[in-house]
Structure formats: structure tokens, C-alpha cells
Structure 1
Amino acid sequence: MRTQSRRTPRALFAVAAAGTLTTSLLAGCSGAGAGGGSSAHSVNVLMVNNPQMVELQKLTASNFTKDTGIKVNFTVLPENDVRDKISQDFANQAGQYDVATLSNYEIPIYAKNNWLEPMDSYVKKDTAFDQQDILKPMREALTAADGKLYGEPFYGESSFLMYRKDVFQKKGLTMPAHPTWQQVADLAAEVDGAEPGMKGICLRGLPGWGEMLAPLTTVVNTFGGTWFDKDWKARLDAPEFKKATQFYVDLVRRHGEAGAAQSGFAECLNDTTQGKTAMWYDATSGAGSLEAAGSPVKGKMGYVPAPVEKTSSSGWLYTWAWGIQKASKNPDDAWKFISWASSKDYEKLVGEKAGWANVPAGKRTSTYDIPQYRTEAAAFADVTRDAIASARPNDPGVQPRPAPGIQFVDIPEFTDLGTKVSQEISSAVAGQQSVDDALKKAQKLAEAVGKKYEGS
């Protein structure tokens, strides 16, 4: 899963990540120790505010803390904000947080910089955790170039297309089993306005390397484009990259959600749940919320693989995983929390308390054998598992790449580069500049990064 020749010097990432640490406001204290008394043990956890994490926060005190006496202090922030805060704390090894939600993008970089505690010894001792049950793509994605394990997935995901089956039926439309992007654009035009206030499709337009650029880069890949060629030459002004970006911007401007330039995962999830969009291309993890008890669109959604053009598949590979900061003063307690949060027992707890469709899936083989899960998640379970299995992080396009990554380029500079490029393209989504102008600026930014790696 790793390209050995790529350089990830500590200095480069430290400069990008460093900043003045601010005092953290605990966004929710998960409770006191067992028996209601004060706990001698505590763990500080910094995590993204996705629905699965919010559910974890609700369940921790009455289950994990009650059983172990370990108090968990949560800080919960939106994706862009939490990434900034994690990079500051871990780059400086401040030790303010013991555990943080990290992705398969950050973990190999953080591991190389010696910011993370290896988990191999914990996994070896904790046989009940059953590391071999973790899906192979996830195990590989969280193992660094040194062969050591530095993360455990809380949930895993790829990307796919979600659509309103009932709306398509009323319009006499059929969703292809393996749609192309051109077919999706044509369908978006057909279903735009199918119901009052309904748009054809929701696509992220919110700036951020982990926001808009995630779906957009998968479109670039399957249209034949790439951020860099095998020699680190920037290719954002190449015809394939331009065609993909113009297609994406045109599609969301013509048939996408209102306020697209400020819409990320959360906004598209809300729009889809509220019936404001007929299709949504995004993370497979969104399906759990759409099919949850009480969701207005439960049972109305269909799910098909990520649309393609020149490639056989185009879904991304991603996991929100737990990492232990090297500077943590409580690594043993941190592992106990991680072991519980990513366990089979936790999945069962979520199934029983919040509904099986809400289980943080995409990480364990055994999840897909649970009868209750297969029943409640029948609409999307197999499509999700197949999408994860077919993801190709080392070969996501039509040409050789200098570094792994499907919806990102796995180098430290991509957080800054991707965010700046996304700001330019988001401006095009908002109608403030042309795609050509946005990509001219983006190309110069990418060229500066590529020059650092040429000849590596």
C-alpha cells in the first residue's frame, strides 16, 4: 500500500502543521468512573463530529466508563477544524490528546514522523480484539512503511451513488447497475424538480482537501486525469483534469443543491434525508444515516457503485481510525478505549441501542455475517463491502502515480495544496471565476509542490 520512493520529511510536515495551540474546550465529558465515583484514569479523545462518533460519545459513559472506570473526555469538532487541531497537537507532541480520529491519509505520514504509538504489542496481547477480522484493505492502509500498525479503524468506507428509487420509478427512469458519469448527468437533468424543491444531485462544493476534493478527485481519476504524473510533473492543466473539473462544476451548478459552494458531507446528508435531492454521490458511510429508524427516506434509497468513465471502478478508500499520540501519558488506557470502540461488542451495542443500520461498519468481516445487520443494512451492505474491496489506492487511474491515494495524494503537503486548490474550484462552483482560471492558479500551486519531489 506504500510507495517506498516517496519522501515525507518531518520538517516539511512540521512546518505545515505547526501552530500555536489553543486551550481545548471539552465538548462533552463522557462521565465519571465506575460506581459513580471519581476515576483515577482518564483519556482525552479528539474526534470529528460525524454521526457515528456522536453516537459513540453518547454510549461511552454508561458502557465503557462503567465497566472500566476510565473516564473519556471528548472534544468533537467539524472535519476541517478537527484536522487542524490534531495536526497542531500531534506535530508539536503536546500530549493534550491521547487519542484522535485520523485517516489513512495522515497515519503513514504521522508514523514516519514518530508522532504515533505503534499498536502491534497491544493487538498481540488483546486477542479478543481479533485483528484478523479487520478487513484487509483497512489493515494495510493503517500499516506504515516500517511494517508496524499505527491505527485501528472505527469505520471504513468507499464512495458510491445514492438515489431515490421512488422518484426514479415515478419518472419512469432506470438507474444502471454500473453507471457512467455522463449517464448520471443525464439522469440528474431528468429528476431535477421531480418533487417541489428537489434538485437532481448533491455534490460537495465546500472547500477542503477532505471535503470537495474527495469526490472531485475520483471524477478526475476516472476521466483519465491525475494530480501528478510518475515524475512528479503537475497535471492540473491537462485536458483530462480540466474536462473532469468542468464536468463536475457544470453538473452541480445546473442540477446540484442550493448553496453548493458551502455544501460538504453533512449538508448533502441533510439535503438527501430531507428530500431536497434525488441523487447523492459520496461516502458509503452516509447510507447508515439514510436507512436509520426515523429517517424520512428509509427504504426509498438505492445504491450503486461509484460512476466511471475510463476506469473499471472509481470509489475511494477511506477510514476514520484511532491513533494514539506518541506523547500520550496514558497509552494503555488509550488502547483500552480504542479496543472497545472498534470491537465486535461495540458494533452489537450500537445495533441494539441505535439500530443495526447505524453500526460503524466497513471495517470487520464479521459485521457482514450478523443477521440483524444484513437485514437492516440490506440495501447497502454488499455494495459497500464490494466498493471497499475494489478500491485501488496504488492504481486509481489510467497512468502510473508517484504516490498512493485515490481521493488524495499521500504526501504531507497535500493538506495545504488540496485546500488551496479546492478554494479555487469552489469559487468556480459559486460562479465567481471560470474553471480555466481556477485551474491555472491550481497548476502553479501544484508545480511548486511537485518540484520538491522531482528526482526522488
Structure 2
Amino acid sequence: MHLRSTLVSASVMALVAGGALAEELTIATVNNSDMIIMQELSSKWEEATGNTLNWVVLEENVLRQRVTTDIATNGGSFDIVTIGAYEAPIWGAQGWLVALDDLGDAYNYDDIFEPVLNGLSADGTLYAVPFYAESSFTFYRKDLFDAAGVELPDGQMTYDQFAEIVAKVHDPDNGVFGTCQRGKAGWGENMAFVGPLVNAFGGRWFDMDWKPTIDSDAWHNAVTYYVDLMNEFGPPGATANGHNENRALFADGKCATWVDATSAAGYIFNPDESSVADKTDFFQAPKQVTDKGTGWFWAWALAIPKSSQKADAAKNFLAWSTSEDYVNLVGETKGWVAAPPGTRKSTYENQAYLDAAPFAKTVENSILAANPADATLEPVPYTGVQFVAIPEFQGIGNYVGQQIAAALAGQMTVDEALKNSQQFAEREMAKAGYPK
């Protein structure tokens, strides 16, 4: 048990002591609970170093747009940016990010799970450091399942079985919807759910010749399932709901099931944040014709743009905010259930965390089991579970997400959405010169 609840530890101070004093760093980040905690606790780092942080906190889609534009144009607006396992290797390889292999022995790189390090690296160089990592699983209300007489099948259920269960626990007259899934358009919003759903139905983004396959039967079956499920058993106005909105709905007792990020468990199981903390359990994200690629892999991480003039001070903050000592600081001040998950082996060897987080081992196993190099039933030329690790995917994924959101809202049919998406993807890939 560490006893550093109100102090910046000696080992981390050794990392930050060499930084330039009286620097103001501008950090762009996402408006999720883990980063809100980091923003609050960062005052300890500011007091210890004399540096200050100017936080620019943005909704996920807006963050991606702002940061991508600034990085690509060498704008220099930010000294630290919040990015993920999609951007880090691509932007690192393009020379847009500062390498982060030199944070010192005290940082203990060996403590970080290897898949997380690999997901944030390019050609063996680390370009972002993780503050949490995640796969996905299904949150569900035990009390509602028991009341409806629902028994979970042995092993990983299919999406057909999931729909049958959702129908049994759907109770809108009492303010409980059978399921809440992401509907807000964006490659990292609705497509984070739809992508693994397509994998489960046997689909893929591209064939081995880089030809888009969005108009395939597998895509049609998956997206039709999604639209029908949400229209029949989801909350109204679902196209406005992304991760944060659904997390709030579930925590407020409005959803019987929710397939989403394992990292949300620290919020849902926290009685200070969630009204259903003692009524919730979890099971594996469903499969359908295959179990490949049904649980996503993601890491939110911090990186330093090459355009920053304050890289040394920025590295010092990264060394503090993604360290083992920071994980312990969160656990001791905010409760161990809220500790950043999925990045460090030491977290999963800490008995205080294991006692507070019933989901801990499931999350660890899910992250280690996710295989971005083998996430589809049929062979593909790309890596990635819920995204495709090529620069063109951001634009394609956003467009497809918009089309599927329009189908969910009843503004077009699924056929029209997928036809439009196929044509757009074909144009973008031809413009980019694929196959390369």
C-alpha cells in the first residue's frame, strides 16, 4: 500500500526536477472522467514545479478535429495533446510528434502492458504515453435481469441472443430502456460500437486489394441489426448520445444494457458517481458469426507536438501524469475504483485496486486478448479492431458514421447509407493512391 495520497512522490519529482520553471503549458484533452480527475490533481504538479497548465477541454469529436488540424498544419497551439492508439503511430511516423523514450528509469516502461506500448509506437519508437487503456464489454443491470428471469448463456452470447434479452428488460414505462448504444456520429463515437459489430457479423472495411466492402451483406446485416435494435429498445434521440451521454444514462438507471469501454467501469461501479453501482455486472461483448474483433482495443494517451517550444516541461508533466505514482495518487484521493485502468501491470498487482474493482481482471484479460492484427473473419491488409490504422480512415470513418447516424434517425435507409459510404470510401482510397 502506497502512502502518498497528498504528495508528489520522490521518484516522480526526480523526473520533473530538471524541467524549466515558470512555463505555461497548453494541453488539449477530452471531457471524460479520467481527464477531469487529472485536471484537478495536476495542481500538485504545478505547485511542485512552478509550471502551470492551461487546459482546453473538448468533446471527443471536437478534440480530434482541433488537434488534427493543429498538428497537420504545425500550428503550435498546444504543448500537450490527448490522442489515442489510432493517431500516435501514424503521426509519429509522419514526424509530427516528439519521441517519448527518454522519460527516465524511474518512469518504468517495463511496467506498461506490451500491447499498449506497441499501440502507441511506430518503428519501435514510443510517441505517446498512456493514461488509460481499454477494451469493451457489456454492462448490465443484475436486478433487472433477475426480475425478468434472464439467465446468461454459457460463454460468449451472440447478438441475436443479446437482442432477445434486451427485449425482456426493456421497460420504457418505468424509464428503463433495453439498451443504450452510441449513436453520435464519428469514427471514435458510433463507429467504435458499429466497427466491432460489423466484425462480429463477419464484415471488414477493405478486402486484400484495399477495395472498400461497406456495401457487403455483412455490413448490411450488422447495421440493420443496430438500427432496428436502437429504434425498438433504445432511448429517444440516440443520435445525440456518445460515450459520455450513455455513461450518464446508465449511471442514472436509465439503461438495462450498454456495450462500451471497459474504462467506464471505474465510473459505473463508483457509488459516488453512479446510482446503480451495486446493481451492475458485466459480460463479454457479444459475437455473431465470429468472435474475432468483438472487443475493441484503445488507449487514450498524451503526446507532445513537434511544434511545441516547451517539450522539456511537457515531458515532465507526462512523466508525472502517466506514472505508477499518479495511479496510486488517484486511488488514494479519489477511491481505488477510480484509478486509471489498463496501462500498468502494477495496478493489477495492487490489492487495494483489486479489492475495489471487481472488473479488474476481466479488463486486464480483455486488453491482453484484443488482437488488432487479427480482428476480422476474412483476411485484411490492415491492423485495427474498431478502426483502420491508415491516415485516410479518419475521414472515411467520420463520413460512414454520419451516414449510419442518419439511418438511425430515419433520414435515409440502411441501403442508402451504406451505398453512400461505399462510394465515398472508394473515392477517398482512389484519391490516396491505394493499393500502394
Tell whether the structures are fold-level matches, with TM greater than 0.5: yes
Please name the residue that 2:10 is paired with: none
Q: CA deviation at 1:195?
A: 7.0
1:215 partner SS: helix
Q: After superposition, where does 1:223-234 map in structure 2 within 5 Å?
A: 223-234=201-212
Q: Deviations for 1:305-361, whole angstroms, at most 9, x for unmatched residues? A: 111113334101101111111121111111110111111111111111111111111
Please name the residue that 1:41 is paired with: 23
- Is the 1:167–1:194 Cα contact (8 Å) retained in structure 2? no
1:368 partner SS: helix
- Is the 1:202–1:280 Cα contact (8 Å) retained in structure 2? yes
Q: TM-score, length-normalised on structure 1?
A: 0.88
- Is the 2:92–2:121 Cα contact (8 Å) retained in structure 1? no
Please name the residue that 1:74 is paired with: 55
- Is the 2:271–2:278 Cα contact (8 Å) retained in structure 1? no
Please name the residue that 1:91 is paired with: 72
Which of 357, 364, 389 is 1:377 aligned to?
A: 357
Please name the residue that 2:384 is paired with: 405
Please name the residue that 1:358 is paired with: 338
Which of 85, 89, 105 is 1:104 aligned to?
A: 85
Q: CA deviation at 1:208?
A: 0.7
Amino acid at match of 1:202: C
Q: CA deviation at 1:175?
A: 2.5
Which of 239, 252, 269 is 1:291 aligned to?
A: 269
In the alignment, structure 2 segments of 5+ residues that lack a partner are: 1-15
Please list every run of at least 4 consecutive aligned residues from structure 1 whose deviation after the TM superposition is greater than 4 angstroms.
none
Please name the residue that 1:130 is paired with: 108
- Is the 1:293–1:355 Cα contact (8 Å) retained in structure 2? no
Amino acid at match of 1:365: K
Please name the residue that 1:417 is paired with: 396
Please name the residue that 1:164 is paired with: 141
Q: After superposition, where does 1:311-390 map in structure 2 within 5 Å?
A: 311-313=290-292, 314-378=294-358, 380-390=359-369
Which of 304, 321, 326 is 2:283 aligned to?
A: 304
Amino acid at match of 1:433: M
Would you say 1:248 and 2:226 are equivalent positions? yes
Q: CA deviation at 1:455?
A: 3.3
- Is the 1:232–1:453 Cα contact (8 Å) retained in structure 2? no
Q: CA deviation at 1:293?
A: 3.0
Amino acid at match of 2:367: I
Q: CA deviation at 1:453?
A: 4.3
Q: TM-score, length-normalised on structure 2?
A: 0.92
Amino acid at match of 2:276: V
1:362 partner SS: coil
What is the RMSD of the two structures over their aligned residues, measured on CA atoms? Answer: 1.6
Q: CA deviation at 1:450?
A: 2.9
Identity of aligned residues (%): 40
Distance 1:303 1:454 in 2: 41
In the alignment, structure 1 segments of 5+ residues that lack a partner are: 1-33
Distance 2:87 2:434 in 1: 22
Distance 1:201 1:279 in 2: 5
- Is the 1:292–1:298 Cα contact (8 Å) retained in structure 2? yes
Distance 1:277 1:372 in 2: 29
Q: CA deviation at 1:304?
A: 1.1
- Identify which range, 82-91 or 188-197, moves more after superposition: 188-197
Would you say 1:265 and 2:243 are equivalent positions? yes
Distance 2:277 2:397 in 1: 34
Please name the residue that 1:5 is paired with: none
- Is the 1:118–1:148 Cα contact (8 Å) retained in structure 2? yes
Which of 178, 199, 214 is 2:156 aligned to?
A: 178
Q: CA deviation at 1:454?
A: 3.2
Q: After superposition, where does 1:185-204 map in structure 2 within 5 Å?
A: 185-193=163-171, 196-204=174-182
- Identify which range, 150-159 or 191-200, moves more after superposition: 191-200
Amino acid at match of 1:282: D
> 1:166–1:195: structure 2 CA closer, same or farther, 3 Å change rule?
farther
Amino acid at match of 1:165: K
Which of 424, 427, 435 is 1:448 aligned to?
A: 427
Q: CA deviation at 1:219?
A: 0.5
Please name the residue that 1:16 is paired with: none
Which of 235, 238, 260 is 1:282 aligned to?
A: 260
- Is the 2:271–2:277 Cα contact (8 Å) retained in structure 1? yes
Q: CA deviation at 1:42?
A: 2.5
Aligned residues: 414
Please name the residue that 1:393 is paired with: 372
Please name the residue that 1:52 is paired with: 34
